[in-house]
Amino acid sequence: MRCRKIVAALGLLLALLASPALACRLTVLGDSLTSGYGLTEDQAFPAQLQRTLGERGTRCEVINAGVAGDTSASGLARLEWALADEPTHLLVELGGNDALRALKVEELKDNLNQIVLQAQARGVQVMLAGMLAPPNLGRAYGDAFRQVFADVAAAQGVPLYPFFLDGVALDGRLMQPDGIHPNARGVEVIAERIAPFVQAFLEDD
């Protein structure tokens, strides 16, 4: 009996040693699009992204720091809380609620700049996920809103995924009935599309 216990313990130890450690910790700071609004935790974007990255050979813990209703200002206000998990990387998905409330694009730019700078000051690498404004707000607002993400990324030297909902936003089969939030399959598509960009971000040391 004692020998069997020793063998079992050795087997467990060898298995642990053989399992590669997670290469990184990626926190997703976002709003309802990443928090998993209308979905189970396992269907939410962070969980889907972690699985997709794993399938691509990148082992990384993806932490859900999404809060429904958050604007860029709200995200900035709780950045310290999000960084308390000591992530190595931060993916910022904010701005959708700024647009829905037609907030000033200058405020969005200031908030995103501060999020990036404060995270970088803590030694955390940052990536931005862009968003588009609803067309009913007019072309001028929409163009200025979209440009904010490119400007912040260029100014701070961080990678940008231009549109978080790319390939999903206009496909009713991938959206929940509200037409705003992706359904489980929609989140899968988002994860599949953004994964190569996130993988390159994680591997760029």
State the catalytic residues. Answer: 32, 178, 181
Contacts of 101-105 with C-beta under 8 Å, sequence gap 24+, read: 101/71, 102/137, 102/141, 103/71, 105/141, 105/144, 105/145, 105/148
Residue with tokens 């978080």: 164
3-state helix vs strand vs coil in the chain, percent to 5: 55, 15, 30
| Cα of 19 vs its chain's centroid, Å | 26
CA 75/CA 103 separation, integer angstroms: 15
State both tokens at 187: 């989140």
Tokens of 46: 């962070």
